[in-house]
Amino acid sequence: MNFDINEVLFQMVGAIKQNVGENWDEVRNPANVFLQNRKERLALLAELLISKEITQERFDSRMEDEKLIAEAHFHAIAVISKAIAQRAANAAIDIFQKAVKTALNVAN
């Protein structure tokens, strides 16, 4: 399997940083903590899809859940607006999904 969760998390942090802009100083630590807390779950979801133990539909459903969880976490950071929180959550999860898709294509 050609999937490096640490590299993907690094890219996800970059996507969050880009989307929160000037609020990055306030968001940096909570974003890193959030992603580290979700690391095991995200790695498991990637592994399950790549090994075909879950369907793409189930994976997509779980990714929608992850977006909502991420958005709720970012909402807890009072300095950013709902739109910024949504963009940050979507950007991070999009990075994750693209990395899993790439790994899945290599595994096939």
What tens digit of pLDDT does each residue of 15-72 get?
999 988 888 988 899 899 999 999 999 999 999 999 999 999 999 999 999 999 998 8
Q: How many domains does the chain have?
A: 1
Q: Is residue 41 part of a domain?
A: yes
Q: Is residue 45 part of a domain?
A: yes
Determine how many CB atoms are found less than 10 A away from the CB of residue 83.
Answer: 9
Give the pLDDT of residue 81: 78
22 is a domain residue: no
Q: What does the alpha-carbon distance between residue 94 and residue 88 come to, in Å, rounded to a whole number?
A: 10
Greatest Cα pair distance, the chain, in angstroms, is: 43
Domain assignment present for 55: yes
Domain of residue 58 covers: 5-14+27-107
Residue 84 lies in a domain: yes
d(CA 27, CA 80): 9
pLDDT value, residue 75: 82
Decide if pLDDT at 98 tops 90: yes
